[in-house]
Structure 1
Amino acid sequence: MEPAQYTSWLFGNRLREAGLLGSMGRIASCYDNALMESFFGSMQIELLDRRDWPTQDDLAKAIFEWIEAWYNPHRRHSALGYLSPAEYETLHAATSTAA
């Protein structure tokens, strides 16, 4: 087993232990990580690069605040029809319930 495969197996196993499901995209698919890369790029520009973070706790709190108070409820995304993630989830939940 090559190191990358072993690391991937360990990572996948840790995800399952935490009750999470990893990405199911095809190998070498440009779309597999595109949304997450966009998310992390936005966070880098809009939050992380704007100041120094004296402690890991300060950074963790700032990331939580950025995601929960700005990114999910307000930031619009072209991939979601220019809705915020919260608006998209609300719309999707209403559609799923009606079906």
Structure 2
Amino acid sequence: MGRVGSCFDNAAAEAFNSTVKVEYVHRRRFATRSEARLKVATWIADFCNTRRRRSRADGLPPVEFEQTITQQRAPAHQRPEAA
């Protein structure tokens, strides 16, 4: 993202890791590391990536935000008609 040693290189990854820990990991107990890996991966794929609202995306979940952006960028002749 930036030059070597820039403080902004890991900012996005650190913010994501913090979110996973605060919203999911610290609220549960896992019997094994394997269970923890599986549950965290499932949480990311099923909730975080599809339903968790993002302030940077106007309060929309990522899937809805991507659909909105795709529709806005499509040429007028390709957009579905609004009812």
Q: Same fold (TM over 0.5)?
A: yes
Structure 1 residues 29, 84: CA separation in 2 closer, same or farther (over 3 Å shift)?
A: same
Aligned to 1:26: 2
Q: Which runs of 5+ in 2 are unaligned?
A: 76-83
Which structure has greater helix proportion? 1
Question: Matched residues in 1 for 2:10 and 2:62: separation?
Answer: 17
Q: Does 1:84 align with 2:50?
A: no
Q: Say if 1:81 and 1:87 are closer, same or farther in 2 by CA, change over 3 A.
A: same
Q: Which has the higher contact order (CA 8 A, sep 6+)?
A: 2
CA distance in 1, matches of 2:55, 2:11: 13
TM-score (norm 1): 0.58
Aligned-partner residue type, residue 2 of structure 2: R
Give me the whole-angstrom Cα distance separating, in 1, the residues matched to 2:69 and 2:10.
22
SS of equivalent residue, structure 1 residue 52: coil
TM-score, normalization by structure 2? 0.66
Residue range with higher mean Cα deviation, 40-49 or 84-93: 84-93
Cα deviation for residue 75 of structure 1 reads: 1.3
Q: How many residues align?
A: 73
Q: How far apart are the structure 2 equivalents of 1:92 and 1:85?
A: 10
Greater gyration radius = 2
Identity of aligned residues (%): 27
RMSD: 2.1
